[in-house]
Structure 1
């Protein structure tokens, strides 16, 4: 399983979200078809751009509970004071990707930041 975790500022567009996902995948030499889902934290539940991007890409958007986000936070690489203050995690994108993948998840690298959107890719422990 491979999940793109998404964090965003208010006002981000679906185009912004798709561009961040594409940039993150390219950074790891991956194609969009490798993704199983998008994920974000409960704090981003009302950010329509994330859900529109999921629809455009024909991928489900998994909303990670606050508890699951907190539990996955110890595995994040990036440290954002803004994210910590607003969402209680050092990186919404990284923690949501890890939480959505579940036990044995690992990040392919730190989140990428593209304009108002962050994206991190996590894979299951049994993925190549």
Structure 2
């Protein structure tokens, strides 16, 4: 299972989200078809652009609950004080990707920042 974790500022467009996902996948030499799901933190559950991007890609969007997000936070690569203050994790996109990809998941690398959107790719532990 391969998951794209998404973090964003408020009011981003679906095009912003899609561009960040594509940039993150390109950075790892992967095609959009490699993805199994998108994921984000519960504080982003009203950010319609993330769900619009999921519909556009025909992928489910997994909303990661706060406790799972915090549990995955010790395994993130990137650190943002703003994210830590607002979401309780140093990286919303990385922690979301890790939590959604399941036990033993690993990030393929640090998050990609593209304007107002961050994206990180995680792969499940059983796929390695």
TM range (shorter): over 0.9
How many residues of Structure 1 are paired with residues of Structure 2 in the alignment? 128
1:34 aligns with 2:34: yes
Equivalence for 1:78: 78
Separation in 1 of the partners of 2:42 and 2:11?
A: 17
Separation in 2 of the partners of 1:26 and 1:127?
A: 20
Equivalence for 1:4: 4
Separation in 1 of the partners of 2:125 and 2:87?
A: 26
CA RMSD of the aligned region, Å? Answer: 0.6
Structure 1 runs of 4+ with >4 Å offset: none
Separation in 2 of the partners of 1:44 and 1:92?
A: 9
TM-aligned CA deviation for residue 95 of structure 1: 0.1
Separation in 1 of the partners of 2:57 and 2:38?
A: 10
Task: Normalising by structure 1, report the TM-score.
Answer: 0.99
Task: Normalising by structure 2, report the TM-score.
Answer: 0.99
Structure 1, unpaired ranges of 5+: none
TM-aligned CA deviation for residue 49 of structure 1: 0.4
Separation in 2 of the partners of 1:33 and 1:127?
A: 16
Structure 2, unpaired ranges of 5+: none
Match of 1:126, SS state, is: helix
